[in-house]
A and B are shown apart, each in its own frame.
Chain A
Amino acid sequence: MLTTQWLYALSGCLLLALGLRSALLHPALLQRILAINVMGSGVFMLLIAIAYRGPGMPPDPIPHALVLTGIVVAVSATALALALARRLTREQPHD
């Protein structure tokens, strides 16, 4: 039977695979940046699934802490990537 934990874990893996595929195959810059963010969400879903310890039990706090830190890192990295990408497209508007 498909439990909620497995649903989260498998969707996480699916997101990860989709993101990886786009990051490797799409040449467009914005798509690549988005794809890496989708990959990140996949990993976070996986970590949330890992934190589940059974019905009625409190979830494991460590994977949650990892997800929080991971989100902060992902946001800063995306900001830097977008700033660099904007610099590139501004210089060559027709590229």
Chain B
Amino acid sequence: MTDALIALVALPLTAALLALLLPRIATALVIFSGLAITASAIALLYGVNTAGALHYELGGWTAGLGIALRADGLSAILLLMIALVMFAASVYASAYFGKASERAQFWPLWLLLWTALNALLLSGDLFNLYVTLELLGLSAVALAALSGKHAAVQAALRYLLVGLLGSMLFLVGVALLYAGYATLDLATLTQVVKPGPIAWSALTLMTLGLLLKTALFPLHFWLPPAHGSAPAPVSAVLSALVVKAAFYLVLRLWLDVFADIVTPTAANLLGVLGAGAVLWGSWQALRAERLKLLAAYSTVAQLGYLFLFFPLLLALPPGPARDVATGGLVMLALTHGFAKAGLFLAIGIVQQRSGHDNIQELGGMVQRLPLTTFAIALAGVALIGLPPSGTFLGKWQLISAAIATGQWLWVAVTAIGSLLAAAYIFRILGHAFGNQPYPHQAVAVAREEWPALLLTLTATLVLGLAGAHVWTLLENGS
């Protein structure tokens, strides 16, 4: 089973180098390696489900100097989501980028991004996490700037500087921890870390750095321009996966490594910021004039829900109740990943066919692009949290945990956020289903429409109906 661990990092990295050297066969290379990576992610999930958490030391070097790869239920589920979303977006991108020269620039960076995502989820020590965070940041910035337009380059540069600032803060935290405990291994740190100035300041610095990268309100200012001006497949994975990689690290630090250090006050602060993100992000999405900006602000809001779980998880005693709530958090993150990726891909089709993504001028879109509009509507079902989407299950757990722990404020925030989400989704659909003539020649390509449709279907039907497996996997894989 450790082969799958290695393959998940080695396959995209090798493919990235080959795609750089052999641009002519790069598209075929991406599709084949994408299938192999997805198969490895499924094998890993199967292995973790039957045998529990996996661990492999590269070259036999022990943790400290060597690089150890690790996977448990949480990372295995997220790795499969990454593989499916990246694969669907790869198929989409092969049609989206019309010119061979565009694809030649795109594929190597795309595969490097995939490598960084996989390596981040498999890393078990703080310094490799720092390196993978930087790899992820650099490849994401380069992809965001790919169109070369002034607005895109400007947004990408701001994204880069914010990301670097975040990494520096994270690295200072790593240095403090090493000075205090002489280890970088997460599993060892979990056992030795004690409440005190070193642990508190390290956790504060690392969390601050990661919150910048995951764009938690009010540190979200860089996200809408960067995600709104990138090419569609890039926006899809930036919103669905890249911000979630930083969130995954916050989750690991707060719930595993620093579980004994975290105070309810600190968790409440994260909850308040999350509530701010839900309300502000949803409101800005409602007011957005462009589809892509709407989707980007909706990402800010949806990330906010994930942070609402922190005060709840801390208030619940460790045991079944907390595990059920954690499953809800993972479900929410998964559904958002699939739904938002599908939404951005569908918006990309609209933008390419109409030449703009101005919501006011999309009247009658459904007549020409029925499948694309349907995908947008399905993504909307998942973003609002209507049954049977996975979001519905996640929000159900969120509200149950809030009621069980008597934290009613988060129930109100969730309700208002969901209403605002319904408002911004129906605003798009209201225009799209209008009966004015749609002025553009719009023939959608199956390679673009189907990935968007399948991703949003996964979010609304598959995750909702087969949701119980997520909880089982988390339990078996710990």
Interface residues of A (CB under 8 A from B): 16, 19-20, 23, 29, 32-33, 36, 39-40, 43, 46-47, 50, 61-63, 65-66, 69-70, 73, 76-77, 80-81, 84-85, 87-88, 91-92
- Cα–Cα distance between A69 and B125 once the two chains are bound (Å): 15
CB distance from B116 to the nearest CB of A (A): 12
Q: Contact mask B116-130 → A, CB, 8 Å, 1/0? A: 000000000001000
Interface residues of B (CB under 8 A from A): 64-65, 127, 131, 134, 137-138, 141-142, 145, 148, 150, 153-154, 156-157, 160-161, 164-165, 167-168, 171-172, 174-175, 178-179, 184
A-B contact pairs, 24 of them (CB 8 A): A16-B172, A19-B168, A36-B164, A36-B168, A43-B171, A43-B172, A50-B178, A50-B179, A62-B178, A66-B174, A69-B131, A70-B171, A73-B131, A76-B138, A80-B138, A81-B160, A81-B164, A84-B141, A84-B145, A84-B157, A84-B160, A87-B148, A88-B154, A88-B157
Q: Which of B134, B156, B184 contacts A77 (CB 8 A)?
A: B134
Q: Is the interface of A mostly helix, strand, loop or mixed?
A: helix
Query: Which 7 residue pairs of A and B lie closest in terms of their CB atoms, listed nearest first?
Result: A84-B157, A50-B179, A73-B134, A39-B168, A36-B164, A46-B175, A43-B171
Residue among B127, B150, B161, B174 with the highest chain A CB neighbour number at 10 A:
B161
Measured between beta carbons, the chain A residues less than 8 angstroms from B127 are 66, 69
CB distance from A11 to the nearest CB of B (A): 14
- Cα–Cα distance between A62 and B184 once the two chains are bound (Å): 10
- Cα–Cα distance between A62 and B62 once the two chains are bound (Å): 13
- Cα–Cα distance between A32 and B137 once the two chains are bound (Å): 17
Q: How many A-B residue pairs have CB under 8 A?
A: 77
Q: Which of B161, B174, B179 contacts A81 (CB 8 A)?
A: B161
- Nearest residue (CB) in B for A37 is B164
- Cα–Cα distance between A47 and B126 once the two chains are bound (Å): 14
Measured between beta carbons, the chain A residues less than 8 angstroms from B154 are 88
CB distance from B188 to the nearest CB of A (A): 13
| B178 touching A65, Cβ below 8 Å | no
| B164 touching A77, Cβ below 8 Å | yes
- Cα–Cα distance between A30 and B141 once the two chains are bound (Å): 18
Measured between beta carbons, the chain A residues less than 8 angstroms from B168 are 16, 19-20, 36, 39-40, 43
CB distance from A43 to the nearest CB of B (A): 5
Q: Which of B153, B156, B175 contacts A43 (CB 8 A)?
A: B175
Q: Which of A40, A46, A73, A87 contacts B153 (CB 8 A)?
A: A87
Given contacts A32-B161, A91-B150, whether A80 and B131 have CB atoms under 8 Å apart is no
| B153 touching A77, Cβ below 8 Å | no
| A23 touching B161, Cβ below 8 Å | yes
Measured between beta carbons, the chain B residues less than 8 angstroms from A92 are 150
Measured between beta carbons, the chain A residues less than 8 angstroms from B175 are 43, 46-47, 50, 63, 66
Measured between beta carbons, the chain A residues less than 8 angstroms from B156 are 84
- Cα–Cα distance between A16 and B137 once the two chains are bound (Å): 21
| A63 touching B178, Cβ below 8 Å | yes
Apart from A77-B137, A81-B164, A91-B153, what 20 extra A-B contacts exist at CB < 8 Å? A19-B168, A23-B165, A33-B161, A36-B165, A39-B168, A40-B168, A43-B172, A46-B172, A47-B178, A50-B175, A50-B178, A61-B65, A63-B178, A69-B131, A81-B161, A84-B156, A84-B157, A85-B157, A88-B150, A88-B153
- Nearest residue (CB) in B for A12 is B175
- Cα–Cα distance between A19 and B172 once the two chains are bound (Å): 13
- Nearest residue (CB) in B for A40 is B168
- Nearest residue (CB) in B for A82 is B157
Measured between beta carbons, the chain A residues less than 8 angstroms from B141 are 80, 84
Given contacts A77-B138, A88-B153, whether A65 and B160 have CB atoms under 8 Å apart is no
- Cα–Cα distance between A84 and B165 once the two chains are bound (Å): 17
Residue among A20, A65, A77, A91 with the highest chain B CB neighbour number at 10 A:
A77
Measured between beta carbons, the chain B residues less than 8 angstroms from A43 are 168, 171-172, 175
Given contacts A43-B168, A77-B160, whether A62 and B65 have CB atoms under 8 Å apart is yes
Q: Which of B64, B157, B160, B161 contacts A62 (CB 8 A)?
A: B64
Given contacts A23-B161, A73-B134, A77-B134, whether A84 and B171 have CB atoms under 8 Å apart is no
- Cα–Cα distance between A71 and B23 once the two chains are bound (Å): 30
Measured between beta carbons, the chain B residues less than 8 angstroms from A40 are 168
- Cα–Cα distance between A76 and B112 once the two chains are bound (Å): 14
Q: Which of A61, A63, A80 contacts B160 (CB 8 A)?
A: A80
CB distance from A27 to the nearest CB of B (A): 12
Measured between beta carbons, the chain A residues less than 8 angstroms from B167 are 73
- Cα–Cα distance between A43 and B169 once the two chains are bound (Å): 9
